[in-house]
Amino acid sequence: MPNENHLAHMARTLGAWFAALLLFFPLGWLFLTAFKTELQAIHVPPLFVFEPTLDNFSEVQRRSDYLLYARNSLITSVVSTVLGLLIAAPAAYSMAFFRTRRTRDILMWMLSTKMMPAVGALVPIYVLAQMAGMLDSLSALIIVFTLSNLPIMVWMLYSNYKDIPPEILEAARMDGASLWTEFRHVVMPLSVGGMASTGLLCLVLSWNEAFWALNLTSAKAGTLATLIASYSSPEGLFWAKLSAASLLAIAPIVVFGWFSQKQLVQGLTFGAVK
């Protein structure tokens, strides 16, 4: 019956909108709160209509160097992503095209390292960083981010490379291609989408990473995650300023993610199906 279908369709649409709004609500509320005064922020009942102010943002920039933290976030995310791709691509290539009996086991093992909570490795990593004199340095963060994201990167690229028919590589070999030529002229162009998705995902993961940033850095190498955390102070919770700081922290990555959402979704679902 067309009517029933129409009703079901409406119900599904409403359900979808409801779920979407529910998921979006925290971000939306954050956005609103950033433009409120502290009093407006803790008002009961919660205010949806109010006179917006930019005071919180100037306070955040005045109190702590937003640009420094943003720069650190950018550097650690981008460098760890690039480094990760440089390591993961050859690894995934060898596993996809030169499989052995142990390949599957190695991949599972790599993935299993992600199953341990980060806090389990906190003490050894902290001690290592301290001994190397790398506490509160960008290098320590870059190394940790790269290594944390490598299992995911290898898996995603492996899934991607497996889709390339091996005969195409054999044809390249017959045409006289060296290993690098094969990779540069055949594998890379055919896996550009996959590499982009992998890179994007790891960029987002590194940007949002808070645990290691908080534990391994302080004033010099702090990222935006530490900026946000600094607003939960013993003096009390300054909701409005916290929201403003958070908004400033997540804005770049949200905008970036918005423009690359298609690639991100592709990369995430790709890995899941395989």
Partner 1 sequence: MAYLQLKHITKSFGDAHIIKGVDLQIQKGEFIVFVGPSGCGKSTLLRLIAGLEPITSGQLMLDGADITRLPSGKRDLAMVFQSYALYPHMSVFDNMSFALKLAKVPKAEIRQKVERAAEQLNLTAYLQRTPRELSGGQRQRVAIGRAIVRAPKVFLFDEPLSNLDAALRGNTRVEIHKLHKALGATTIYVTHDQVEAMTLADRVVVLKDGLIEQVGSPLELYDRPANRFVAQFIGMPSMNMLPAKALASVTRLAGGRVPPNGFVGVRPEGLRVHPGVGVGVPGRVDLVEALGSDTLIHVDVEGTTMVARQNERTALRIGDTVGVEIDPNVLHLFNQDGQTLAAQGSPA
Closer Cβ to partner 1, 162 or 173, answer by number: 173
Stretch that binds partner 1, among 16-24, 134-142, 169-177, 226-234 (CB under 8 A): 169-177
When binding is defined by CB under 8 A, the residue of 79, 110, 186, 205 that contacts partner 1 is 186
Q: For tokens 């960083």, what's the residue?
A: 129
State in angstroms the smallest separation of the CB of 165 from partner 1: 7
Residue 181 binds partner 1 (CB under 8 A): yes
- Separation CA 84–CA 149 (nearest Å): 7
Residue 187 binds partner 1 (CB under 8 A): no
Radius of gyration of the chain (CA): 23
Residue 250 binds partner 1 (CB under 8 A): no
- φ and ψ at 139, to 5 degrees? -60, -45
Residue 114 binds partner 1 (CB under 8 A): no
Residue 195 binds partner 1 (CB under 8 A): no
State in angstroms the smallest separation of the CB of 176 from partner 1: 4
When binding is defined by CB under 8 A, the residue of 42, 75, 190, 251 that contacts partner 1 is 190
Residue 78 binds partner 1 (CB under 8 A): no
Local structure of residue 190 (DSSP, 8 states)? H
Residue 172 binds partner 1 (CB under 8 A): yes
Local structure of residue 176 (DSSP, 8 states)? T
When binding is defined by CB under 8 A, the residue of 8, 14, 168, 265 that contacts partner 1 is 168
Q: State the burial class of residue 38 (Cβ atoms within 10 Å of its Cβ: 0-12, 13-18, 19+).
A: middle
Q: Count Cβ atoms below 10 Å from residue 112 Cβ, excluding itself.
A: 10
Residue 113 binds partner 1 (CB under 8 A): no
Residue 196 binds partner 1 (CB under 8 A): no
- Separation CA 274–CA 111 (nearest Å): 14
When binding is defined by CB under 8 A, the residue of 53, 173, 229, 257 that contacts partner 1 is 173
Structure tokens at 39: 């009093």
Q: Count Cβ atoms below 10 Å from residue 106 Cβ, excluding itself.
A: 13
Residue 106 binds partner 1 (CB under 8 A): no
Residue 167 binds partner 1 (CB under 8 A): yes
Q: How far is CA 2 from CA 5, 14, 232, in A?
A: 5, 18, 55
Q: State the burial class of residue 232 (Cβ atoms within 10 Å of its Cβ: 0-12, 13-18, 19+).
A: exposed
Structure tokens at 139: 């290098």
Binding residues for partner 1 restricted to 38-57, rule: CB under 8 A? none
Size of site (CB under 8 A) for partner 1: 17
> Is residue 217 within 8 Å of residue 223, measured between CB atoms?
yes
State in angstroms the smallest separation of the CB of 26 from partner 1: 42
Residue 184 binds partner 1 (CB under 8 A): no
Under the rule (CB under 8 A), what is the footprint of partner 1?
165, 167-168, 170-178, 181, 185-186, 189-190
